[in-house]
Chain A
């Protein structure tokens, strides 16, 4: 009798449909089955078992690290030379070594991967780390369970963390929309309508397109969909606005130095882009020096050190350029353009000869990496936020310099009437040199910022030069406010046009618009008025 019961038990244990009762170890060995249907069944059973130890096994299966031995046992194996070291997949105890031909890899296909993800999701809902539980909730939202979310209900009851609780509740609502009584489904729809997760939209769309839907439920889903979509649109707009401001801040940094040199001295400095490039290379050099000579924990500070270094280096180059070339060309703006273009060619080739033509790697310091993810998957990267702040800091400092210092007073005086300033005893030549140095130095600081978001190459300046001209021309010469307005509106318009017309065509449209705009206001948005504007 006893023997009979025992054999019946053994038979039961071997039946996959009764896997809940089976030992986890046995299920793991079933992962080594030959056909994928059996493997998927085994994975689903492991998921249903709810044993936390299975998480590691399923992950190794996903990574392709599981192998079948000759006696049909599943082991974790790591290649070492021409043979493998094997481990128990559950607890990782070493099992010894095996020759490469004694092991067969457990193959994984996409259907099996889907099953693994689902099983991992239900396994990590409870008891996983915070991040695991969150991603399990997101997974559950993506593939709402057909059973109305019994597992989620249990998990929600046990959960303490508010963020995870919200995610669970959302996933639960998504699961309940598809099943249960009409009232339950309506309640679930009402709950989903509060969300602004892009995933909810696809869940709702799926449900609406289902056949034989109750008309009232369909109306409720439609209303929920439009509510969710409205919020998503708003979030999308906020993201576009942020991207536009970010682009605008970069344009502003690139153009502001140009606005000063052009505004005060009437000089079109075609080498302005190369000043930006030199600033970026200064950043690179400072980074390399920090890496070479300072303890590794200081590396994050290199960027702070790079700002003054880049400013001083490019300001020095700018002053040299002004004293050596440009001062002989005052009053001949077209020729200044050509001469500075020549300087830009020389600077580019010089940098290419020293550093090579390839891109240099400038790393973000750790406090600038990553970003903030808001509801609806909108991400604001930290480096762009820092650049936005930096840009306004530079603008503010410059405004202070122009308004509150003697040098600023002299600069404004020279802008308004050069001859009269000279007659009043202002050393206009010195003011010119310092102004040019200041404009170049700001370009250098722009280079520091640009090195954080793009490639550092000898052509860096060329990318921004036409855009910075557009900003200055659009905003109006000699007006910081104009430059600010010009840069920000160009940045935002560019980003608004991008999804409609594509990146390149959007830019073309903006350029054409500026060309037309100049017809209307040949001196820019914020034109200088009075006698100075006429000369």
Chain B
């Protein structure tokens, strides 16, 4: 792998900064400058949509970090995303103040509706953004730390780990549906008004949130890149391919896995926090097991263990989803299902691996290199 020891090659930096600048400056300019209705103008609804894709990309990136590099396929990553989203949603709920339907300064609408008298303790502090931001990082991070500590310490690996992460998100899904949870039950948190005093429905606020998403994705990419390029990154690759051997060499495999798992959960939480103000709602469906499995297919389509592939996969599939559910709603599940099958069968290295696969076929007719991420036969 060229440049494995440095963060990015000079060419990589040029690409990274160029693309980042284009996204940060170009899209908002195209949205703001041309007069409305002109062919050059980027319609207002597209800006939060692009922002949403970028949040998904950050989420996919976080999964690629653990799946592609450490062989941990989490089928519950949507849970960390949703927890970050709920933390952000709670802050936005507190910002509504007296503008709710019941105009209650103390309680959010749904609590008034449920006849609650006082704000539950876990809502305290969410009036302040700094506290909410801390929770966005802390809640998914601590959950991942505790969960991972239990799981990795007792060497739960492979499909077992996938299944219990799925059970984790399923349990949270059931729990968040309850009204007693004090987080809006089935309806979740919605009807947000503004963030930092800016109207959430204004085009300028949306541009701001979009730019924040680009920057978060860029920083997230650099962080992941930093981890995989470091010595720890080499260790992760090694334990992905032969965990027992690495353990016998004297490395604390569980610590290394716990570290990336927690970092990954924090990244997912941040993605969720940026996602919520742009779509305007967070509800328990984000915890559904189907959502979490879908994240894995974004990564697989883009190309596992490449970081860049996760971003490409997330954006491409979600773009296709928006387009297909609009024009051919019946077909979307067929397409998604076929993608799952096709990618695993024919393109195990994803979009980024296709060129390599083709070159390999043309060159010597040799089979493609073994797929990373599996630890031998079951």
CB-based nearest A residue for B377 = A331
A515 within 8 A of partner (CB): yes
The 8 A CB mask of A325-342 against B (1 = contact, 0 = none) is 100111111111111011
B163 touches A508 (CB 8 A): no
A331 touches B378 (CB 8 A): yes
A349 to B159, CA, bound (A): 26
Q: Is the interface of A mostly helix, strand, loop or mixed?
A: helix
A335 to B158, CA, bound (A): 11
Q: Is the interface of B mostly helix, strand, loop or mixed?
A: helix
A515 touches B73 (CB 8 A): no
User: Which residues between 113 and 153 of chain B lie within 8 Å of chain A, taking CB atoms?
Assistant: 147, 150-151, 153
Known: A338-B300, A515-B167. A507 touches B174 (CB 8 A): yes
Most buried by A among B150, B158, B159: B159
CB-based nearest B residue for A349 = B333
B330 touches A511 (CB 8 A): no
User: Which residues between 294 and 353 of chain B lie within 8 Å of chain A, taking CB atoms?
Assistant: 296-297, 300, 330, 333-334, 336-341, 343-345, 348
B201 within 8 A of partner (CB): no
CB-based nearest A residue for B345 = A328
Known: A469-B166, A514-B167. A345 touches B337 (CB 8 A): yes
CB-based nearest B residue for A458 = B333
- Contact partner, B156, options A341, A345, A353, A519, Cβ 8 Å: A519
Q: Closest approach, in angstroms, between the C-beta of A361 and any C-beta of chain B?
A: 24
The 8 A CB mask of B160-173 against A (1 = contact, 0 = none) is 10111011101100
Q: Closest approach, in angstroms, between the C-beta of B166 and any C-beta of chain A?
A: 6
A511 touches B171 (CB 8 A): yes
B175 within 8 A of partner (CB): yes
Known: A266-B378, A466-B170, A508-B174. A334 touches B158 (CB 8 A): yes
What's the count of A-B pairs with C-beta under 8 Å? 138
Q: Closest approach, in angstroms, between the C-beta of B20 and any C-beta of chain A?
A: 31
Which residues on the B side are within 8 Å of A344 (C-beta)? 337
Q: Closest approach, in angstroms, between the C-beta of B148 and any C-beta of chain A?
A: 11
B178 touches A535 (CB 8 A): no
B153 touches A519 (CB 8 A): yes
Known: A338-B344, A535-B378. A349 touches B337 (CB 8 A): yes
A329 to B348, CA, bound (A): 10
A466 touches B164 (CB 8 A): no
A234 within 8 A of partner (CB): no
- Contact partner, B154, options A466, A469, A520, Cβ 8 Å: A520
User: Which residues between 142 and 160 of chain A lie within 8 Å of chain B, taking CB atoms?
Assistant: none
A86 to B158, CA, bound (A): 78
Which residues on the A side are within 8 Å of B159 (C-beta)? 268, 333-334, 337
B210 within 8 A of partner (CB): no
B202 within 8 A of partner (CB): no
A339 touches B341 (CB 8 A): yes
B252 within 8 A of partner (CB): no
Known: A332-B374, A342-B340. A349 touches B334 (CB 8 A): yes
Which residues on the B side are within 8 Å of A270 (C-beta)? 293
Q: Closest approach, in angstroms, between the C-beta of A171 and any C-beta of chain B?
A: 42
Which residues on the B side are within 8 Å of A336 (C-beta)? 344
A511 to B166, CA, bound (A): 10
Which residues on the A side are within 8 Å of B166 (C-beta)? 466, 469
A371 within 8 A of partner (CB): no
- Contact partner, B345, options A325, A466, A518, Cβ 8 Å: A325
User: Which residues between 329 and 371 of chain A lie within 8 Å of chain B, taking CB atoms?
Assistant: 329-339, 341-346, 348-350, 353
Q: Closest approach, in angstroms, between the C-beta of A114 and any C-beta of chain B?
A: 33
Most buried by A among B297, B343, B377: B377
B170 touches A511 (CB 8 A): yes
Interface residue count for B (Cβ, 8 Å)? 49
A342 touches B341 (CB 8 A): yes
A341 touches B345 (CB 8 A): no
A344 to B290, CA, bound (A): 11
The 8 A CB mask of B69-110 against A (1 = contact, 0 = none) is 000010100000000000000000000000000000000000
B373 within 8 A of partner (CB): yes
A522 within 8 A of partner (CB): yes
User: Which residues between 424 and 462 of chain A lie within 8 Å of chain B, taking CB atoms?
Assistant: 462
A348 to B75, CA, bound (A): 20
Known: A335-B348, A342-B341, A535-B377. A473 touches B336 (CB 8 A): no
A473 touches B160 (CB 8 A): yes
A504 to B297, CA, bound (A): 30
The 8 A CB mask of A504-534 against B (1 = contact, 0 = none) is 1101100110111011101000000000000
User: Which residues between 173 and 187 of chain B lie within 8 Å of chain A, taking CB atoms?
Assistant: 174-175, 177-178
Which residues on the A side are within 8 Å of B75 (C-beta)? 337
A256 within 8 A of partner (CB): no
A277 within 8 A of partner (CB): no
A328 to B342, CA, bound (A): 12
A342 touches B337 (CB 8 A): yes
A511 to B374, CA, bound (A): 27
Known: A346-B334, A514-B167. A466 touches B289 (CB 8 A): yes
A342 touches B376 (CB 8 A): no
B330 touches A519 (CB 8 A): no
CB-based nearest A residue for B333 = A349
A339 touches B160 (CB 8 A): no
Known: A508-B171, A535-B378. A268 touches B345 (CB 8 A): no
Residue pairs across A and B with Cβ atoms less than 8 A apart, 22 shown, are: A268-B159, A325-B341, A328-B345, A337-B75, A337-B159, A338-B340, A339-B341, A342-B297, A342-B336, A342-B339, A342-B340, A342-B341, A345-B336, A346-B334, A346-B341, A469-B163, A469-B166, A473-B160, A505-B178, A508-B175, A518-B154, A520-B154
- Give the 5 A-B CB pairs with smallest separation, nearest first: A342-B340, A266-B378, A345-B337, A346-B337, A349-B333
With A520-B154, A522-B156 given, can you name 17 additional A-B contacts, CB distance below 8 Å? A330-B377, A333-B158, A333-B378, A334-B159, A335-B348, A337-B159, A339-B345, A341-B340, A342-B336, A342-B338, A466-B170, A470-B167, A473-B164, A504-B177, A514-B164, A515-B171, A519-B151
